[in-house]
Amino acid sequence: MLAMAGRMGKAAFLLLMVAAAICPAVYAQAAHRERKKPPAAPKSLEGSISDGVYRNPYFGFSYKVSFGWVDRTEVMRQSDSEAPASVPSKSQVLLAVFERPPEAPRATINAGLVIAIESATAYPGLKEAGDYFGPLEQVTGAKGFKVVNEPYEFPVGQTTVAREDFSKEEGEMTMHQSCLVILQKSYLVSFTFVSDSDDAMDELLGGLSFHGAPSTSKPPAAPSKK
């Protein structure tokens, strides 16, 4: 994992954070030597929402969206397509939903979820999903997030995925951010959740279901709750 962090300058790295809970969609971008953008991921990978449930047959998972949440998927895809040429995009937003519109007044932490995919070829030397967390820590650290729990195995039903937890102080509030990652069909699929508490995070995570057995990293076992 640490080796991956040292290769950020050579990887086409685009981390889409759910910092929209505090302000409109924020993209944390890493430098890259190449300037040519590769084509976006096929639309067949996008999945769809029906009856309040997002389903993605290609990657084998679904997510039950909380009632009344707003869908900003298309807005974030458009923002992604407008990224500068210096940041090649091998990524695509699959789903971006929030408790309230990101542009609404920010009296409290705006809970949200962004699911995105990135081509695994963007990370030379990547062998398992847990390797993604090296570059992730650099980007989240630059945005003021602190690591709460180092990468660990996390069960979602019968599937075990890689997870890392972060937090950020926002005045008297604390933003909790958890990132789950799987390596599936030559893509890294990241699930980035934001909430205002650990209990609320557990509730958000409860909406995620897998229908297969994606390969993951093998970090240490889950930490005990603090």
Complete domains list, the chain, with CATH? 2-210 (3.40.1000.10)
User: With DSSP H G I counted as helix, E B as strand and the rest as coil, what are the percentages for the chain, rounded to 5?
Assistant: 20, 40, 40
Let me know: does 46 contact 59? Beta carbons within 8 Å. Answer: no
Confidence at residue 212, expressed as pLDDT on a 0 to 100 scale: 64
Residues of the chain with pLDDT under 70: 1-43, 79-90, 212-226
Confidence at residue 36, expressed as pLDDT on a 0 to 100 scale: 37
Task: Give strand pairing partners of 187.
Answer: 119, 184
Residue 160's CB is within 10 A of a number of other CB atoms, namely: 19
What does the block give as tokens for 53? Answer: 């449930």
User: In the chain, which ranges are continuous DSSP H helix?
Assistant: 2-5, 73-81, 133-142, 198-205
Confidence at residue 97, expressed as pLDDT on a 0 to 100 scale: 96
Q: What confidence tens digit (pLDDT) does each residue in 50-70 have?
A: 999 999 999 999 999 999 999
DSSP state of 223: P
Confidence at residue 13, expressed as pLDDT on a 0 to 100 scale: 32
- Helices first, then strands: H and E counts in the chain: 4, 13
Indicate the helix (H) or strand (E) that contains 197: none
Confidence at residue 155, expressed as pLDDT on a 0 to 100 scale: 96
Report d(CA 87, CA 11) in Å as an integer.
Answer: 10
Q: What confidence tens digit (pLDDT) does each residue in 110-122 have?
A: 999 999 999 888 8
Confidence at residue 25, expressed as pLDDT on a 0 to 100 scale: 34
Report d(CA 185, CA 214) in Å as an integer.
Answer: 9
Let me know: does 30 contact 91? Beta carbons within 8 Å. Answer: no
145 Cβ contact partners less than 8 Å away, ≥ 6 residues apart:
166, 167, 168, 175, 177
pTM above 0.75, yes or no: yes
